[in-house]
Amino acid sequence: MRNSVFPALMMMVLMTIGLFTSCEKDSDLTTSVVDIDNYVDSTMYDMQRNANCGRFGCYELVFPITLNFPDGTSAEVDSYEDLRETLYAWKEANPEAGERPELAFPIDLLTEDGEVVTVENREELGELRRACRRDYWRNHGPRGHRNRPMFCFKPIYPLSLTFPDGTITEVEDLQEMKDVLRTWKSENRDAEGRPKFVFPMEVEYEDGTTATVESPADIRRLKEECAEGA
């Protein structure tokens, strides 16, 4: 009888140890996922707030943008969804990293007046942030940032840009607009005025619905509605 009971007891002990170890591993995995999510949330929140852009900002980022990572690598992303996935993958591959990636300058921002501003450095970004006196971020922190809409709206291509000298250029996609803006900026560094979107223009909300924007006043109204409704 003793010989038959001992193996059964040993089996129960081993099963209990295995179950405990499995639960411990699951707990570690869950903690890791939560840590990565928090890292991504905080990074995206800081990027948007520092540029005063997105749903709670005065401006909208013009994609694509480039990220510089602490390990010296970089990556180009063409949407907030792509940004989140890229941040998640990098942090997953670098779990011990405490530093966060930064936006690579220059970046382009769409203002509430329909202008596209090329920002060359942190100083210019600070000036642009201070130029908008409304603080939509006051009651919004990084916690749960991934569950909130990232942007108010984005332009639907093709669209047209008008330049200070009166010329108008149609662009077919994000990358072409970026290239056109860079070329214009490099050839007109002393120009007064900025490129602007030609109205009316079509925009898309994060839920996929669209709207026609008739004027800069419509952009300001949409930004206010986005911030109030979040």
- Is pLDDT above 70 for 186? yes
**Which residues are CB-contacts of 95 (< 8 A; sequence separation ≥ 6)?**
32, 35, 36
Report the pLDDT value the prediction gives residue 191, as an integer from 0 to 100. Answer: 84
Q: What is the DSSP string of 91-130?
A: HHH-TT--S--EEPSPEEEE-TTSBEEEE-SHHHHHHHHH
Of 8-22, 97-111, 190-204, give the lowest mean pLDDT range.
8-22
> What pLDDT band is residue 24 in, cutting at 50, 70 and 90?
very low
| CA angle at 122 for the pair 116 and 128, rounded to the nearest 5° | 45
Are the beta carbons of 111 and 118 closer than 8 angstroms? no
The pLDDT of residue 98 = 86
Q: What is the pLDDT of residues 152-176, one digit of tens each?
A: 888 899 999 999 999 999 999 988 9
Tell me if the bond preceding 64 is cis, omega within 30° of 0.
Answer: yes
Average pLDDT over the chain, rounded to whole?
82
What is this structure's pTM?
0.76
Q: 36, exposed or middle or buried, with CB in 10 Å at 0-12, 13-18, 19+? A: middle
Select the more confidently predicted residue: 40 or 149.
40
Task: Report whether pLDDT(26) > 60.
Answer: no
Q: What is the per-residue pLDDT for 7? A: 56
Domains held by the chain: number: 1
Do 160 and 177 contact (CB within 8 A), yes or no?
Answer: no
**Mean pLDDT value across residues 141-149:** 57
Residues 90-133 pLDDT 10s: 999 999 888 999 999 999 999 988 899 999 999 999 998 888 86
- Show the beta-strand stretches assigned E in 8-163: 60-61, 65-68, 74-77, 102-103, 107-110, 116-119, 154-155, 159-162
Distance CA 40, CA 221 (A): 30
Distances (CA, A) of 144 to 40, 44, 149, 203: 11, 11, 11, 26
pLDDT digits (tens, 9 = 90+) for 27-65: 444 447 778 988 998 999 889 888 888 888 889 999 999
Range name among 7-21, 25-39, 75-89 with the lowest pLDDT average: 7-21
Range of the domain at 91: 2-229
